[in-house]
Amino acid sequence: MNAFAFPKGFLWGAATSAHQVEGNNVHSDWWAWEQAGRVKEASGLACDHHRRFAEDFDLAVSLGHNAHRLSVEWARIEPEEGRWDEAALAHYVEVIRALRQRHLEPIVSLHHFSSPQWLTAQGGWTHPKVVEAFARYCHRVAEALGDQVRYWVTINEPMVFLRLHYLEGLGPPGMKDMGQGLKAIQHMIRAHAAAFRLLHERRADAQVSIAAHLPVFAACKPWRPMDLWVTRLTDRIFNVALLSALTEGRWSVPGVANWTFPEARRSLDYLGVNFYGRQFLHWVRTVHGWPAANCDLGHHPLRVRERTSFGWDVHPPSFYRTLTRWSRLRLPILITENGAWMTDDARRWAFIHGHLQAVARAIRSGARVIGYCYWSLLDNFEWADGYTPRFGIVEVDYATQRRTVRDSGKRYAEVCRSNRLHLEER
């Protein structure tokens, strides 16, 4: 074993998103979706973070963090089209001030799965005017927060968002249509490019990216040509095409589409990486959807040794692979999310520890990783899965809003404080 020192100034923290923690996000499309009974549980008061943000940031400081990722909520800031809620903006100014007072570097996402109801009523991200609407909203936020925020995430996990909301109908607007999904991707790329530009106009040293969910895809049955084919195709559309649109201005998936986005060329200052494990895929016959589905990991007792309480694969070597693969873009990498729901907290720590080992090894191999945000600081509302999954290094008792730091949070704090990790030789 030897001690690995992370680079000086490394950002250590945890991430949250507005709808998942704030509570009473009544103008968002997710709120309407929940009220319409489309999910088993509604978000309601969530973690009441809208009122308790200062004490939650105190907790983050007590855990040795020096950064914090959060999102601002479009639906609060523009509850009706063209009507700006100044009090909502003032609230986020307060939030950022509270972070700065505690020496927590803010990493601010502008869109994290939830959109204003008025936008979704017009077709959401499939409507061409979303690009301009998003830019207007970002402009307002940049005006209010721009001098206090350096790190921005324009859109969280664009491809997961599209898959869940536009291809699988699991979130608003509940579409299941590949054609609409393809429209939405184009609008997201353009919206990101517009936000990138205006954030830089506001502050030249802004660091802007997306948070890209970048799994390693593997075939369920690699001896089946169709499984292999659909796995490569999914990697191309989910991982490669999006990143080449934002770096080279070209989105191309053979047999699907070839587009150019000159305005999106070089629109990443760093790469935000969300990583949760490998995804095993097999080919499925479909009419309007994507011809791939996740396979039952139970079929892979030899290859999938460990799973989270969600049943997701746990595989730190794949994290190493993702980090080294994408370091070829020659951008700094900020790990904007990595985490697990584990009913046994000792296994959560093992997950964090294993993934930090992978980060250290990737840095040793040349990846320029500048920070790590665990998902999540708090247990929170996990979208269609409600409150059952618990990802937090801080446990939340939803009946009393009492916070209790988990042991995994304390172990993670030791790494954050020391900026070091004992690297286990393999």
Instruction: Give catalytic residues, as residue numbers.
Output: 157, 337
Q: Residue 376: is the preceding peptide bond cis (ω within 30°)?
A: yes
CB of 73 to ligand IFM, least distance (A): 13
Binders in 133-192 for ligand IFM, by CB under 6 A: 157
Which of 125, 375, 387, 412 binds ligand IFM (CB under 6 A)? It is: 375
Tell me how far apart the alpha carbons of residues 369 and 320 are, in angstroms, rounded to a whole number.
11
Which of 11, 12, 17, 106 binds ligand IFM (CB under 6 A)? It is: 17
CB of 161 to ligand IFM, least distance (A): 9
Which residue in 80, 100, 87, 82 sits closest to 50, CA to CA? 87
Residue 73 as a binder of ligand IFM (CB under 6 A): the answer is no
Between 170 and 256, CB nearer to ligand IFM? 170
Cα–chain center distance at 346 = 24
Extract the tokens encoding 17: 């998103």
Between 111 and 361, CB nearer to ligand IFM? 111
Residue 28 as a binder of ligand IFM (CB under 6 A): the answer is no
Tell me how far apart the alpha carbons of residues 9 and 12 are, in angstroms, rounded to a whole number.
9
Residue 379 as a binder of ligand IFM (CB under 6 A): the answer is no
Between 274 and 327, CB nearer to ligand IFM? 274
Per DSSP, the three-state class of 286 is coil
The separation between the first and the last C-alpha atoms of the chain, rounded to the nearest angstrom, is 10
CB of 225 to ligand IFM, least distance (A): 31
Between 116 and 272, CB nearer to ligand IFM? 272
Residue 274 as a binder of ligand IFM (CB under 6 A): the answer is yes
Tell me, by CB under 6 A, how many residues bind ligand IFM.
8
Binders in 208-267 for ligand IFM, by CB under 6 A: none
CB of 382 to ligand IFM, least distance (A): 5
Q: DSSP readout, 38-66?
A: -SSS--TTTT-HHHHHHHHHHHHHHTT-S
Extract the tokens encoding 315: 């595989």
Contacts of 129 (CB under 8 A, 6+ apart): 122
CB of 211 to ligand IFM, least distance (A): 8
Which of 379, 382, 394, 409 binds ligand IFM (CB under 6 A)? It is: 382
Extract the tokens encoding 306: 């460990």
Binders in 324-343 for ligand IFM, by CB under 6 A: 337
Tell me how far apart the alpha carbons of residues 411 and 352 are, in angstroms, rounded to a whole number.
9
- Please list the residues that pair with 105 across neighbouring strands: 67
Instruction: Note the residue count of the chain.
Output: 426
Q: Which residues bind ligand IFM (CB under 6 A)?
A: 17, 20, 113, 157, 274, 337, 375, 382
